[in-house]
């Protein structure tokens, strides 16, 4: 058998097998694909050589199987993936973004990094809530309950706005200040040489610009 003939038989069988999907297969007799599959498996195990001197495995490697697969009418092969992070706190984040003129996606990226959208988390240092506000920072922002999602997000977004304003809209410096404090950013004239802060800035900016 020639390799071209074998490829044609293989593609035709795949098309016949897939054409009936997703209808139930018959239980009374094997489908053509089952018979062909059994023959194919045996041939591969025996290392069958084709008449033109090529091996069966090499022949199949050159066969474009995907070209034989049917698609449903109007169906996309690749479904678009939404970049919008819809969460239980979406309305709160949207309102905070509008009030403080901070991109919604940036707030989401900060929350994902800080708490992974867990409003009850508390760090070993005492930072709490969705945007991990420290007690003193929370008080200064007028947040009385750091575990209240709305208070926390509005307070954290307000603080992020302050950092953006303080560092002339420089996103990386603002994020570094959010994490390590504005004093450290000024002290080192940029992102502080703290591994935690550097990773923090890198991860959030990568998420934000994704």
Q: Which residues are catalytic?
A: 114
**C-alpha torsion 32→37→39→45, nearest 10:** 180
Q: Record the tokens describing residue 92, joined without a space.
A: 């709160």
Calculate the CA 191 to chain-centre distance.
27
φ, ψ for residue 55, nearest 5 deg = -85, 155
Residue 153: count other Cβ atoms within 10 Å of its Cβ: 25
Q: 111, 103 in Cβ contact below 8 A?
A: no
**Residue 176 gets which letter from DSSP?**
H
In total, the chain counts a number of residues equal to 210
The verdict on whether omega for the bond into residue 154 sits within 30 degrees of 0, i.e. cis, is no
Residue owning tokens 């209808």: 23
């Amino acid at each position: 058998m020639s390799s071209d003939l074998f490829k044609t038989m293989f593609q035709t069988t795949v098309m016949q097998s897939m054409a009936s999907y997703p209808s139930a297969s018959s239980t009374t007799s094997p489908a053509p694909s089952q018979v062909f599959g059994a023959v194919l498996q045996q041939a591969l195990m025996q290392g069958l050589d084709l008449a033109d001197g090529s091996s069966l495995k090499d022949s199949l490697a050159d066969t474009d199987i995907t070209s034989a697969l049917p698609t449903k009418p109007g169906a996309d092969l690749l479904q678009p993936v939404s970049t919008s992070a819809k969460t239980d706190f979406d309305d709160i984040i949207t309102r905070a973004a509008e009030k403080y003129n901070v991109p919604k996606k940036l707030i989401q990226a900060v929350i994902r990094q800080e708490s992974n959208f867990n409003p009850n988390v508390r760090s070993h240092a005492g930072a709490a809530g969705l945007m991990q506000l420290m007690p003193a920072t929370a008080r200064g922002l007028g947040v009385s309950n750091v575990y209240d999602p709305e208070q926390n997000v509005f307070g954290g977004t307000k603080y992020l706005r302050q950092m953006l304003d303080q560092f002339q809209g420089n996103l990386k410096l603002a994020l570094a200040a959010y994490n390590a404090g504005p004093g450290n950013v000024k002290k080192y004239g940029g992102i502080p040489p703290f591994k935690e802060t550097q990773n923090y800035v890198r991860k959030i900016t990568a998420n934000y610009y994704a």
